Amino acid sequence: MRIMLLGPPGSGKGTLSERLEKELGFFHLSPGQLLREEVKRGTSLGKRIASYIDKGHLVPTNFVVEMVRLEMRGKKKVILDGFPRNREQAEAFADVKIDLVLYLDVSEKVAVERLSGRRVCVQQKHGFHVHHFPPKKKGVCDHDGSSLTKRKDDAPAIVRERFLVYRKETQPVIAYYRKKGLLREVDGNRDPGDVYREVKRIIMMGAPRKRVQKRK
């Protein structure tokens, strides 16, 4: 089963994907993360990607879509996390069989609260949250004792901006998959455990069918 997981920053996509990977054996594929890793490795490909990002441009659609195709090859259970980002990517991916598109919706308020409380350790990037998942000792990583910091783009003003940009870009994508009858919306404002159980139930039921209108 191949699932696309869409949702604004702070909707809990990452947490949900990790659990689907650990407990149901899905391969977690995050194109955004792949791009960032390639840049970090400093390969010639990474340098090309960085040149787009540094200029504030989007990485070209063909490039991202090809990368995702390659990574998906031969894998039966895949969670595509945060892809496609826009309508153009969705259309360029139309020939790839997808069973289900999950849209994890979240309010701006909840997203800001979640992301602005997020902390990562400087050494190994272990994640914590000041309210939902606090470390044993304030400001210190439980695993390696290194100090905890905020990601720059988790500042409330930047989260709001990311949130608005995401909504604007992704609305046409949501409409596109709704029309194809693949979309299922899940309320991401709830506790991550509840969200996981609902998603698991949806997956067990199989791909959604086009809604049949009930006769009265």
Residue 137's φ and ψ, nearest 5 degrees, are -120, 130
85 has catalytic annotation: yes
Does 148 bind Zn ion (CB under 5 A)? Our answer is no
Residue 116 Cβ, how far from Zn ion at the closest point, in Å?
Answer: 20
Toward Zn ion, which CB reaches closer, 87 or 126? 126
Toward Zn ion, which CB reaches closer, 64 or 141? 141
Toward Zn ion, which CB reaches closer, 18 or 91? 18
Toward Zn ion, which CB reaches closer, 60 or 145? 145
Amino acid at 201: R
Query: Of the candidates 101, 88, 44, which has an alpha carbon nearest to the alpha carbon of residue 62?
Result: 88
Does 137 bind Zn ion (CB under 5 A)? Our answer is no
Does 124 bind Zn ion (CB under 5 A)? Our answer is yes
Residue whose token pair is 């400001």: 139
Query: Of the candidates 66, 57, 77, 107, which has an alpha carbon nearest to the alpha carbon of residue 5?
Result: 77
Q: Which stretch binds Zn ion (CB under 5 A): 54-62, 136-144, 148-156, 164-172?
A: 136-144
Q: Catalytic residue among 2, 118, 119, 184, which?
A: 118
Binding residues for Zn ion restricted to 102-121, rule: CB under 5 A: 121
Q: Catalytic residue among 162, 178, 190, 200, which?
A: 162
Does 143 bind Zn ion (CB under 5 A)? Our answer is yes
Long-range contacts (CB closer than 8 Å, 24 or more residues apart) made by 27-30: 27/75, 27/77, 27/78, 27/79, 28/79, 28/81, 29/68, 29/71, 29/72, 29/78, 29/79, 29/80, 29/81, 29/83, 30/81, 30/82, 30/83
Distance in angstroms (rounded) separating the CA atoms of residues 9 and 34: 17
Q: Which stretch binds Zn ion (CB under 5 A): 143-151, 165-173, 175-183, 192-200?
A: 143-151
Catalytic residues: 13, 85, 118, 151, 162
